[in-house]
Amino acid sequence: MSDYPPQSPPPPAAGTPQPPLSDADAQQWAGLSHLLGGILGFLAPLVIWLVYKDRSGYVAAESKRALNFQLLVTVGYVVSYVLMIVLIGYLTWLALWVLSIYFGYTNFQAVNQRRATTYPVDVQIIK
């Protein structure tokens, strides 16, 4: 016989494409991108967008909208930290935090009620 050990089977093919999300799953992840964005900042919508952007156009659009708003809020937080030197930064930071949670929750409700989501400022940082 042969002195060589038996060969192992070839490794599985690199990542197979994931199936599209069902309507219920798409609605759930779209809503969570808004709600978690209001709580956790830009990281939650960023992760949801990166994971589900190829599986649902609806989730991609909604998470991108939440991500753009949360990135704008993050810029506001940075400005607030600078303004904390003159104490007004504490008020602007608190106002941004409350508005972020408020708009995250209202847009979460809008997604669950199948209405259009809106933010007061719609800057397209991520296109």
Tokens of 26: 């798409």
Domain boundaries, the chain: 23-112
Rounded CA-CA distance 34/117 in Å is 9
Tens-digit pLDDT profile for residues 76-94: 999 999 999 989 999 999 9
**∠ CA 52-103-64, rounded to 5°:** 25
Tens-digit pLDDT profile for residues 28-46: 999 999 999 988 989 999 9
Report pTM.
0.81
Tokens of 101: 């949670």
Place of tokens 């199948």: 114
Rounded CA-CA distance 24/105 in Å is 19
